Structure 1
Amino acid sequence: MELLVYLAGEIHSSWRTQLKEQAQKQNLPLRFTGPMEDHQRSDHIGEEILGSQPNNVLKDEAASSINNLRTQILLSKSDVVIAYFGEQYKQWNSAMDAATAITLQKPVILIRDEKLHHPLKELANKAQLVVQTPEQALKALSYIFE
């Protein structure tokens, strides 16, 4: 059995790379997907596909429509979602991805420091598991294969 894991969460740190490397070292049967990590590509995909937009609001809306399509498809195909919330950035997309996964009845592992308990309490309440580190999330997934 192999699991497809959607990695939602902030894109400005290397948590995804570290988690993938640890999973590979442990020989876990996991494949990973997630949001577009190339920020420029994500911001400009609307104009790349739909053509030049007359202003930044419409440029953002065109890009978000295409990014939402991509996210919806990848989330729906995933077996489990790991949503990482760091302290430094406002992760609105992560919260939306986690909420979408919950709506799709996908298991969610929420990673957040205890300091973020209050702002994430509703998502945490709906997640199957709340942990504080990516390593803990990976340990929970490895338990599935025992």
Structure 2
Amino acid sequence: MHLSVYLSGEIHTDWRDEIAQGAADLPVSFTAPVTDHAASDDCGVAILGAESDKFWHDRKGAGLNAIRTRKGIEEADIVVVRFGEKYKQWNAAFDAGYAAALGKSLIIMHGSDHAHALKEVDAAANAVCETPQQVVDMLRYVIAGTLPG
């Protein structure tokens, strides 16, 4: 069994690398949004031209990023959405809702301090965890049926 996994959510820590390294021996391929914050913010104006109004600057970038995000989520077998500690990731919540609407297997990852704020998002998920290692353990279980240890 080969799985395609889309890794959505916060871009300020190396959680994606931790999952990829932990799952290196599994038949899994990973996709993700652009995680270079400046490139993600400025892709629209870099490609389509400058905007004096920040709204249109952001709108151009959001539209281009949405092409990649939609394709990644639509083609994934499993979508992992990480909510970080520092910023409110409205885009991550949107990605989780989109994945749930498409009937994708959904893993939500966040710290316990976000449990109340994300209770509806968590309710839509197949699993909720706190660490990248737990994601790796879930992938290993789904693929091979083996438990950690």
Q: Give the TM-score normalised by structure 1.
A: 0.93
Question: Quick one: which amino acid aligns to residue 15 of structure 2?
Answer: W
Distance 1:137 1:74 in 2: 18
Question: Quick one: which amino acid aligns to residue 92 of structure 1?
Answer: W
1:4 aligns with 2:18: no
Alignment of 1:82-93 (within 5 A): 82-93=80-91
Distance 1:131 1:144 in 2: 15
Note the aligned Cα RMSD (angstroms): 1.1
Distance 1:101 1:40 in 2: 25
Q: Following TM superposition, by how much is the alpha carbon of 1:108 offset from its aligned partner in structure 2, in angstroms?
A: 0.5
| Number of residue pairs matched by the alignment | 144
Distance 1:108 1:66 in 2: 24
Distance 1:113 1:51 in 2: 39
Aligned to 2:47: 49
Secondary structure of 2:23's match?
A: helix
Q: Following TM superposition, by how much is the alpha carbon of 1:54 offset from its aligned partner in structure 2, in angstroms?
A: 3.0
Q: Which runs of 5+ in 2 are unaligned?
A: 145-149
2:128 to 127, 130, 136: 130
Distance 1:103 1:145 in 2: 24
Aligned to 2:92: 94
Q: Following TM superposition, by how much is the alpha carbon of 1:18 offset from its aligned partner in structure 2, in angstroms?
A: 1.1
Distance 1:43 1:132 in 2: 27
Q: Following TM superposition, by how much is the alpha carbon of 1:93 offset from its aligned partner in structure 2, in angstroms?
A: 1.3
Q: What is the CA deviation profile of residues 45-90 of structure 1, one whole-angstrom value per residue up to 9, with x for unaligned ones?
A: 1112222223211111111111112111111011101111122221
Aligned to 1:23: 23
Question: Quick one: which amino acid aligns to residue 92 of structure 2?
Answer: S
Q: Which runs of 5+ in 1 are unaligned?
A: none
Question: Relative to structure 2, which stretch is displaced further, 64-73 or 121-130?
Answer: 64-73
Distance 1:145 1:57 in 2: 44
Q: Give the TM-score normalised by structure 2.
A: 0.92
1:34 aligns with 2:38: no
Secondary structure of 1:145's match?
A: helix
Secondary structure of 1:75's match?
A: helix
Sequence identity, in percent? 40
Distance 1:43 1:23 in 2: 30
Secondary structure of 1:109's match?
A: strand
Secondary structure of 2:29's match?
A: strand
